[in-house]
């Protein structure tokens, strides 16, 4: 009798464990199980933060199985992180040279590379500042600090450097420069009064109600401003990353980027 009860108990336990196993396999959201959102890692230039955040929300509303995770920063810094092995599926740079460097090292899927966007370089000042109405006003003695992003690693800073050299003002103004790690920091310097003026993209200027555009830098003064994008060669989710990139190129993407001051 005791052996029979023990056998029945073991059979019951095996049946229960089998049911638990099946339940965990059909339960969406468990580790490595169908139904879990696939995470797409997107390092992108900080000037894209507002537009990409809005577009990601719309895209994820149509693709519940996709989770978009962004790392926003200076394009040069993001390039270095990718080169050092940081996980990434899709890279959107604010400059051509950063994407070129990754392509030379075979870190991007060349077939997916496109020039996604364009922008305009502008000089911004505090909203109520009246003493700066053009780039030549930066030479005035009362202008002590001019903010720009680090030219060696941030495309906006490189474009500003090229422009000021073209306008023959770089050497004259160099003692006044205050450098930011990216355009967001440059904008903050002007907003807080830590710099009387700064060079940012028009899309950045549109995000702030504390600054105004004092001068639009001629396109002829610097190399063309392009935002290249490409799927990374080591991406484990290439198809989804490519699909999101196609969505950014769509008419819906164009409308959102346009509202944020970008050109396509």
Measured between alpha carbons, how far is 93 from 91 in angstroms, rounded to an integer? 6
- 60: containing domain: 38-118+226-259
**DSSP-assigned states of every residue in 91-151:** EE-SSHHHHHHHHHTT-B-GGG-EEEEE--EEEEEETT--S-SSGGGGGSTT---EEEE-T
Q: pLDDT grade, residue 71 (50/70/90)?
A: very high
**Domain match, 111 and 241 both:** yes
**Domain match, 230 and 110 both:** yes
Residue 177 above 80 pLDDT? yes
Q: pLDDT grade, residue 35 (50/70/90)?
A: low
Query: Helices 49-62 and 251-259 sit at what angle, rounded to 10 degrees?
Result: 150
Q: pLDDT grade, residue 150 (50/70/90)?
A: very high
User: Does some domain include residue 11?
Assistant: no
Residue 9 above 50 pLDDT? no
User: Does some domain include residue 244?
Assistant: yes
Residue 60 above 70 pLDDT? yes
User: Does some domain include residue 187?
Assistant: yes
Q: pLDDT grade, residue 36 (50/70/90)?
A: confident
**Domain match, 107 and 194 both:** no
**Domain match, 163 and 186 both:** yes
User: Does some domain include residue 7?
Assistant: no
Please enumerate in sequence order all residues whose Cβ is within 8 A of that of 179, keeping only pairs 6 or more positions apart, or say none.
147, 148, 149, 150, 157
What percentage of residues in the chain have a pLDDT greater than 90?
A: 84
**Domain match, 174 and 242 both:** no
pLDDT value for 189: 98
pTM for this prediction: 0.79
Nearest 10 degrees: Cα torsion 71, 72, 77, 79: 60
pLDDT higher at 124 or 9? 124
Q: pLDDT grade, residue 37 (50/70/90)?
A: confident
pLDDT value for 168: 97
Residue 221 CB coordination number (10 Å): 16
Greatest C-alpha distance within the chain: 104
Cβ-contact 139, 169 below 8 angstroms: yes
Residue 1 above 60 pLDDT? no
User: Does some domain include residue 130?
Assistant: yes
Q: How many folded domains does the chain comprise?
A: 2
**Domain match, 131 and 186 both:** yes
Residue 26 above 70 pLDDT? no
Q: Comparing C-alpha atoms, which of 90, 97, 232 is closest to residue 154?
A: 97
Burial of 194 (0-12, 13-18, 19+ CB in 10 A): middle
The predicted-structure confidence for 211-238, as pLDDT tens digits, reads as follows: 999 999 999 999 999 999 999 999 999 9
Q: pLDDT grade, residue 12 (50/70/90)?
A: low
**Domain match, 113 and 231 both:** yes
Q: Comparing C-alpha atoms, which of 74, 72, 205, 204 is closest to residue 151?
A: 74
**Domain match, 53 and 102 both:** yes
**Domain match, 125 and 217 both:** yes
**Domain match, 45 and 98 both:** yes
């Amino acid at each position: 009798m005791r052996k029979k009860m023990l056998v029945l108990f073991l059979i019951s336990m095996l049946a229960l464990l089998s049911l638990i196993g099946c339940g965990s396999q059909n339960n969406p959201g468990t580790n490595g199980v169908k139904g879990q959102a696939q995470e797409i890692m997107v390092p992108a230039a900080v000037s894209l933060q507002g537009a990409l955040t809005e577009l990601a929300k719309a895209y994820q509303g149509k693709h519940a199985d996709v989770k978009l995770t962004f790392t926003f920063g200076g394009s040069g810094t993001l390039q270095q992180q990718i080169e050092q092995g940081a996980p990434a599926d899709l890279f959107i740079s604010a400059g051509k040279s950063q994407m070129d460097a990754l392509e030379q090292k075979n870190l991007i899927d060349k077939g997916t590379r496109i020039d996604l966007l364009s922008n305009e370089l502008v000089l911004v000042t505090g909203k109520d500042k009246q003493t700066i109405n053009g780039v030549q006003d930066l030479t005035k003695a009362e202008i002590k600090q001019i903010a720009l992003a680090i030219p060696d690693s941030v495309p906006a800073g490189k474009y500003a450097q090229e422009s000021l050299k073209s306008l023959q003002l770089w050497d004259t103004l160099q003692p006044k420069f205050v450098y930011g790690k990216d355009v967001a920091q440059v904008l903050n310097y002007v907003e807080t009064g830590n710099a009387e003026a700064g060079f940012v993209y028009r899309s950045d200027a549109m995000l702030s109600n504390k600054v105004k555009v004092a001068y639009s830098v001629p396109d002829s003064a610097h190399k063309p401003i392009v935002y290249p994008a490409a799927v990374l060669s080591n991406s484990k989710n290439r198809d989804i990353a490519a699909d999101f990139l196609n969505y950014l190129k769509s008419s819906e993407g164009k409308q959102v980027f346009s509202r944020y001051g970008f050109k396509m």
